[in-house]
Amino acid sequence: MKKHIALLLMIALLIAMLGSCRSAANDQLESMENDLPTADVWNDPVYGLEEKEEEPEEPQEPAEEPSDQTEKPSENKPSTQKPVEKPSQQETPKEEPQKQETPKEETPKEELPKEEEQQPIDYSSWIKVASYNIKALNYNAKDSSKGSDQFNAVVAELRKIDADIVGLQEVDRFSPRKNADQVKDLAEALGYKYYKYTKTIDYGSGEYGHAIMSRYPILSSKSYAFADAPGDIDAREPRAFSRHILKIKDKRLVFYNGHLAEKAPEQLMYMADHFMAKDVESGLSVVLTADFNAVPSQLIGCYDLDLFTLLNGGDDFEDCQGTTVDNNNPIDNILVSDNLKYYWNTKENCGIEVVQTNASDHKPIYTYINFK
């Protein structure tokens, strides 16, 4: 019994000791709670778990522009910014080759005029074409016979030009002015093996018309009266044109020659629509020499601009006004099909040259052509 009582006393003593320990523990906890930091202090970057996450970002804090949340992805920005800086360094060398490209472009520009200046040298192998209204060799002289001053003056000018093909306008043949075959006499004096006269009208006991002289064989020739065209013209002197086919090596050239009048635009349109355009569409090359009695501005648009080019003051040569008569009008002209190469005076921007002479009331003109 005494043992039981002693055991109970020991248990009671233990319980009392535990109670005093618990109260002491509670007192210690209360004092610790009073010493703990407030909630605001936990948000301070010096304390808490966030301190460990932000420690690697502290060296980037000098760039304080991004917020705390954006600073985490900014850890990758240094890697992305470095490649961005590299192309920025490459942009400067990119500008340097651009500076070098400008002189490269200037060099061909400087070379172009040199090539253009050399072009006339190449024209020596081209076909030289001339057009000349000789006024029936009856200008400033009563005598137009072979060997006369008038005849010799025209021969001298044509010899200087030395064209391969010449279209002549206002040519007499056994007319009352002189009983002579003028184109035959001129061709013999100048050494042209081939020539052809085509009549426009009867004149007294002879004829009056136009002619061509050629260093190439003339395969065929035919004359056409504009009286057949819509709207008759100039009853005083009906006009006409001729069509010739020339053999130049293995090529064929259709050579037209004419003397037009007041209705030259309509006449040219008739020729272009009914004859010349058809020749080009069939694959032939075309040249027209004529005294148009009309300035270039009246003629542009009277033919297909995609097929033909007017070399004196037309199309690509509007600044060129090669005057051929005393009233300073460029009424003599040469029209070529665009399947031909043609002469270009780059200094004057002209497709023809005018010869300054008073051997006739018209000045002769010439150009160069070649097959493409």
Give 161-198 pLDDT, tens digit per residue: 999 999 999 999 998 887 899 999 999 999 999 999 99
| CB contact set of 281 (below 8 Å; sequence gap of 6+) | none
Task: Report pLDDT for 192.
Answer: 98
Select, from the ranges 54-58, 80-84, 238-242, the one with the highest average predicted confidence (pLDDT). 238-242
| Helix (H), strand (E) at residue 113 | helix 77-122
pLDDT of residue 176: 85
Contacts of 255 (CB under 8 A, 6+ apart): 165, 167, 212, 214, 243, 244, 245, 246, 286, 287, 289
Mean pLDDT of the chain: 77
Tokens 């050629």 identify what position? 214
User: Is the pLDDT score of 91 beyond 60?
Assistant: no
pLDDT at 243 over 70: yes
Lowest mean pLDDT of 165-169, 229-233, 238-242, 251-255, name the range: 229-233
- Residue 80: pLDDT band (50, 70, 90) is very low
Q: Is the pLDDT of residue 118 over 90?
A: no
Task: Say what the pLDDT of residue 69 is.
Answer: 44
Grade residue 3 by pLDDT with cuts at 50, 70 and 90. Answer: low
- What pLDDT is attached to residue 237? 77
Task: Tell me the HSE value of 139 on the side-chain side, using a 13 A CA sphere.
Answer: 17
pTM: 0.67
pLDDT band with cut points at 50, 70 and 90 for residue 333: very high
Question: Which token pair is 151?
Answer: 């005849």
Measure the CA angle with vertex 114, ends 111 and 119; round to 5°: 130
pLDDT of amino acid 262: 76
Q: Could you give the percent of the chain with pLDDT greater than 70?
A: 64
Q: What is the predicted pLDDT for the residue at 63?
A: 44
Distance in angstroms (rounded) separating the CA atoms of residues 132 and 293: 13
How many angstroms separate the most distant Cα atoms in the chain?
187
pLDDT above 50 for 228: yes
Q: What is the pLDDT of residue 138?
A: 85
CB 238 within 8 A of CB 229: no
Of 8-12, 41-45, 197-201, 288-292, the range with the lowest mean pLDDT is 41-45
Phi–psi pair at 143, nearest 5 degrees? -95, 115
d(CA 313, CA 309): 10
Of 106-120, 132-146, 202-216, highest mean pLDDT? 202-216
Contacts 24+ apart (CB under 8 A), 192-200: 192/166, 194/218, 196/221, 196/242, 196/244, 197/171, 197/173, 198/222, 198/223, 198/240, 198/242, 198/257, 199/173, 199/223, 199/240, 200/225, 200/237, 200/238, 200/239, 200/240, 200/259
Residue 156 · residue 190 · CB < 8 Å: no
Which residue in this structure is represented by tokens 């060129």?
320
Q: Is the pLDDT assigned to residue 62 strictly greater than 60?
A: no
At 148 the three-state DSSP class reads: coil
Q: Domain spanning 126-371: which superfamily?
A: Endonuclease/exonuclease/phosphatase (3.60.10.10)
**What mean pLDDT is predicted for residues 220-231?**
77
- Structure confidence by residue, pLDDT tens digits, 43-52: 433 333 333 3
* Cα-based distances in Å from 342 to 26, 91, 309: 118, 48, 9
- Cross-strand partners of 370: 341
| pLDDT score, position 51 | 36
Over residues 265-276, the mean pLDDT reads: 95
Spatial distance between the Cα atoms of 242 and 326, rounded to a whole number of angstroms: 27
The token pair at 322 is 């090669």
More reliable by pLDDT, 39 or 136: 136
pLDDT band at 21 (very low <50, low <70, confident <90, very high): very low
What the block records as the tokens of 312 is 């004196």
Q: Could you give the CA distance from residue 355 to residue 18 in angstroms, rounded to a whole number? A: 140
- Name the more confident of 142 and 47: 142
DSSP assignment string, 19-69: HHHHHHHHHHHHHHHHHS--HHHHTSTTSSTHHHHHGGGGGGTTS--S-HH
DSSP string, 117-141: HHHHHHGGGSEEEEEEE-GGG-SS-
